[in-house]
């Protein structure tokens, strides 16, 4: 009975070590426990091997994507160049139209490929997003400045007031700036001309929250969970330019910084995108 | 793969089954998902959560957690299974008042006779912003902080799934966002599967997926 108890507690300890990844075989002899130890080691090695295979596969997918992006770059810029040369020729009206179509689509393709590469790198942790403590108002000012031109083209006002006291949170100004730009651009794209997009900052104990509020077309309730999916676009937005990666990338970035994005929307009345940046998490 | 699955789950009350609190629910929750269940009071969402967590026996149907049938188990076995596989977060924080924050977090692990994985527990404590409150007693903490301890306690035991029943029911709206944000962020960070029951649409919006319950049935799932 005592023997059984020691055996069982040895087994329990072995498994604890196996979970912690520190397991080593104690002794090699003819005892049953030694046999079990050897088998445990074999089992652990096998699972390690499987894990390594999966890792390897992921690596290969990643290098394939980076190869594709790299190899398409030259032909793509050649197409752009030749299209520009073509456009400078004496062309008839219809030829001009067709050339414009080619250059539009080339641009789209270029954007798509670079977004794909970016998302793949973010997903695989190749790009390290370095979140540092900073003033959220600086981040928002940066993003608003970047978006002002596109907004002005549609006569849309970006309303944002800097608070007097700084609101600190963890973010990477370059990446989180891009995330915010994507969200604001999206709001601009789906808002009517002459409308106002309100951007505000709120502070919580653990998070800082940035709201981007538009009175655009809004999102159907059943579509809300889908807006952050890669390549997803609402059925009725096919006439708008875009490929459906902006919000996806935004979410990837904010998650990498230890925050999250939430959206609330009423169809036909506009949407509020809320970006929550963590104040304490160190990733 | 589904961590949690229900098969035609039913819970009727009354002699002639006149109250159908849960009336044939089929649901699958995948590994790492954050799912919210919404519904007005009396819609059957709390009964559903109790059934999912093995706290109540159904009239008919089955709940599977990691392919294990909950209600095929005897009560004693179910209690142990629950302790090892399901983490609960309730509206009332249920902290032990005579234990400090760290002791409260470690309690379920030690109850099961296990040595806590302190590296992991420390990460959870940091993530939930409790590093400085480690040695504080529950009555020295605000409501939001107490709920954060309850969340840390649930995650630290590495359960297959965390079930949260109105976790912000006692908190003001500002603190609610904090607590839910931390639940979401830490769920993502530690790959934890979470089901939250709430009547608050603002909280439900934070989930990857929302399931709406009406009269004991799923009325809508997105």
- Asked whether the beta carbons of B197 and B91 are under 8 A apart, the reply is no
CATH number at residue A63: 1.10.287
Written as six digits, the tokens of A131 are 């979140």
| Whether A76 and A94 share a structural domain | yes
What is the tally of structural domains in chain A? 2
Q: What percent of chain B has pLDDT over 70?
A: 99
All domains of chain B, ordered by start, with CATH?
2-221 (3.40.50.300)
* Residue range of the domain that includes A101: 1-127
The C-alpha angle B128, A224, B46, rounded to 5 degrees, equals: 60
A16 touches chain B (CB under 8 A): yes
The size of chain A, in residues, is 283
What's chain A's average pLDDT? Answer: 85
Query: Residue B188 and residue A278: Cβ atoms within 8 Å?
Result: no
Query: Closest-CA residue in chain A for B148?
Result: A206
Q: Which residue(s) pair with B22 in the sheet?
A: B11
**Does residue A283 lie within any of the structural domains?**
no
CATH number at residue A137: 3.30.565.10
pLDDT confidence of residue A2: 66
A271 touches chain B (CB under 8 A): no
pTM above 0.80, yes or no: no
| Whether A266 and A136 share a structural domain | yes
A8-22 per-position pLDDT tens digit: 888 888 888 877 777
Query: Residue B185 and residue A205: Cβ atoms within 8 Å?
Result: no
CB proximity list for B152: less than 8 A, separation 6 or greater: B105, B124, B125, B128, B130
- The ipTM (two decimal places) reads 0.75
Higher model confidence: residue A230 or residue A97? A97
| Whether A105 and A137 share a structural domain | no
How do strand A196-203 and strand A157-159 relate by DSSP bridges? parallel
Mean of pLDDT values over A230-246 = 72
Structural domain ending residue among the three candidates A127, A153, A180? A127
Query: Closest-CA residue in chain B for A207?
Result: B178
Give all strands of the β-sheet with A196-203 in edge-to-edge order.
A157-159, A196-203, A207-213, A270-278, A260-266
**Does residue A240 lie within any of the structural domains?**
yes
**Does residue A60 lie within any of the structural domains?**
yes
Which of A64-73, B40-49, B72-81, B152-161 is predicted least confidently? A64-73
Structural domain ending residue among the three candidates A97, A127, A157? A127
Interface of A with B in 90-109 (CB under 8 A): none
A250-271 per-position pLDDT tens digit: 988 898 888 889 888 888 888 9
- Asked whether the beta carbons of A91 and A99 are under 8 A apart, the reply is yes
Q: Which residue(s) pair with A272 in the sheet?
A: A213, A264
The size of chain B, in residues, is 222
Enumerate the residues of chain A whose CB falls inside 8 A of the CB of residue B178.
204-207
| Whether A183 and A120 share a structural domain | no
Higher model confidence: residue A230 or residue A48? A48
Of residues B182, B201, B208, nearest to A206 (C-beta): B182
**Does residue A8 lie within any of the structural domains?**
yes
Structural domain ending residue among the three candidates A108, A127, A146? A127
**Does residue A44 lie within any of the structural domains?**
yes
Mean of pLDDT values over A16-33 = 75
């Amino acid at each position: 009975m005592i023997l059984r108890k020691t055996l069982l507690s040895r087994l329990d300890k072995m498994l604890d070590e196996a979970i912690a990844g520190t397991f080593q075989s104690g002794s090699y002899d003819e005892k049953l426990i030694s046999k079990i130890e050897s088998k445990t080691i074999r089992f652990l090695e096998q699972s390690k091997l499987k894990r390594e295979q999966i890792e390897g596969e992921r690596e290969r997918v990643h290098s394939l994507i980076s190869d594709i992006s790299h190899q398409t770059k030259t032909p793509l810029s050649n197409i752009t160049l030749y299209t520009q040369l073509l456009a400078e020729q004496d062309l008839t009206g219809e030829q001009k139209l067709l050339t414009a179509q080619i250059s539009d689509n080339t641009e789209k393709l270029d954007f798509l490929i670079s977004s794909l590469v970016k998302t793949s790198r973010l997903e695989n942790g190749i790009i390290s997003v370095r979140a540092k403590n900073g003033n959220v108002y600086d981040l928002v000012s940066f993003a608003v400045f970047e978006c002002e031109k596109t907004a002005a083209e549609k006569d849309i006002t970006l309303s944002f007031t800097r608070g007097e006291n700084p609101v600190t949170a963890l973010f990477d100004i370059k990446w989180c700036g891009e995330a915010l730009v994507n969200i604001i651009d999206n709001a601009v794209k789906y808002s009517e001309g002459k409308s106002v997009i309100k951007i505000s900052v709120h502070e919580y104990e653990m998070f800082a929250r940035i709201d981007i509020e538009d009175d655009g077309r809004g999102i159907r309730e059943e579509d809300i969970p889908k807006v952050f999916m890669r390549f997803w676009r609402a059925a009725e937005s096919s006439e708008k330019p875009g490929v459906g990666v902006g919000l996806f990338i935004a979410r990837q970035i904010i998650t990498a910084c230890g925050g999250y994005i939430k959206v609330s929307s009423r169809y036909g009345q506009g949407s509020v995108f809320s970006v929550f940046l963590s104040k304490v998490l160190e990733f | 793969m589904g961590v949690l699955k229900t098969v035609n789950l039913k819970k009727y009350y009354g002699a002639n089954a006149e109250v159908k609190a849960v009336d044939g629910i089929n649901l699958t929750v995948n590994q790492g998902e954050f799912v919210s269940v919404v519904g007005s009071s009396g819609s059957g969402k709390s009964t559903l959560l109790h059934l999912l967590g093995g706290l109540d026996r159904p009239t008919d149907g089955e709940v599977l957690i990691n392919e294990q049938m909950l209600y095929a188990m005897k009560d004693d076995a179910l209690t142990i299974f629950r302790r090892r596989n399901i983490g609960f977060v309730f509206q009332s924080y249920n902290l032990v008042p005579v234990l400090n924050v760290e002791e409260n977090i470690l309690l379920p692990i030690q109850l099961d006779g296990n040595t806590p994985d302190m590296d992991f527990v420390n990460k959870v404590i940091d993530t939930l912003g409790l590093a400085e409150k480690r040695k504080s007693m529950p009555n020295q903490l605000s409501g939001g902080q107490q709920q954060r301890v309850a969340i840390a306690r649930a995650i630290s035991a590495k359960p297959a799934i965390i079930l949260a029943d109105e976790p912000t029911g006692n908190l003001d709206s500002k603190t609610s966002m904090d607590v839910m944000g931390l639940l979401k962020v830490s769920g993502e960070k530690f790959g934890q599967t979470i089901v939250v029951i709430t009547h608050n649409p603002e909280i439900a919006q934070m989930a990857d997926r929302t399931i709406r319950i009406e009269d004991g049935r799923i009325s809508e799932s997105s």
